[in-house]
Amino acid sequence: MYMAETAAAGTVDGTASTDGRIECAYCGRRFAERELLALHRGVEHAEELDEREREAFDAAYGDEEEELRHFRLKALLALMALYFLLLFAYSVFG
Ligand SMILES: [Zn+2]
C-alpha cells in the first residue's frame, strides 16, 4: 500500500532529475518549479489528468492569475508615473 502510494505520488509530482528540475511524467519536459509543471500538465495533458493533478493545476492557475493581476497593476502604475514624469519634464524644460 505504502509503495503504491509512493509510486502514485511520483507520477503526480513528476520525477526529480539530477539537476534538481522536475520532469513531466507524460512527455519528459523538465521544469524548475513544481507549480510550472502543474500548469504545463493542465495545458498540455488536460485529458490525461487525474483528480489530484487537476486540483494542482487549478491551484497553480489561481496563483498565476493573482500574480498576473499584481503585475498588471504595477505596470499600470509605472506607466502613469512615467507619463507624469515626462509631462513634468516637458513643462519645466520644454
Ligand atoms: Zn508534459
pLDDT (tens digit per residue) in 27-47: 999 999 999 999 999 999 999
More confident residue, 12 or 9: 12
- The mean pLDDT of 9-19, rounded to a whole number, is 58
- Spacing, Cα 68 to ligand 1 middle (Å): 23
d(CA 52, CA 37): 13
Burial bucket for residue 14 (CB in 10 Å: 0-12, 13-18, 19+): buried
Range of the domain at 35: 2-93
- Spacing, Cα 51 to ligand 1 middle (Å): 17
- Spacing, Cα 30 to ligand 1 middle (Å): 8
- Spacing, Cα 70 to ligand 1 middle (Å): 28
Please give the tally of structural domains in the chain: 1
Q: What is the mean pLDDT of the chain?
A: 86
pLDDT of amino acid 20: 80
pLDDT of amino acid 94: 79
Q: How many angstroms separate the Cα of 54 from the Cα of each of 8, 16, 19, 44?
A: 14, 20, 26, 12
What's this model's pTM, rounded to 2 decimal places? 0.62
- Spacing, Cα 20 to ligand 1 middle (Å): 17
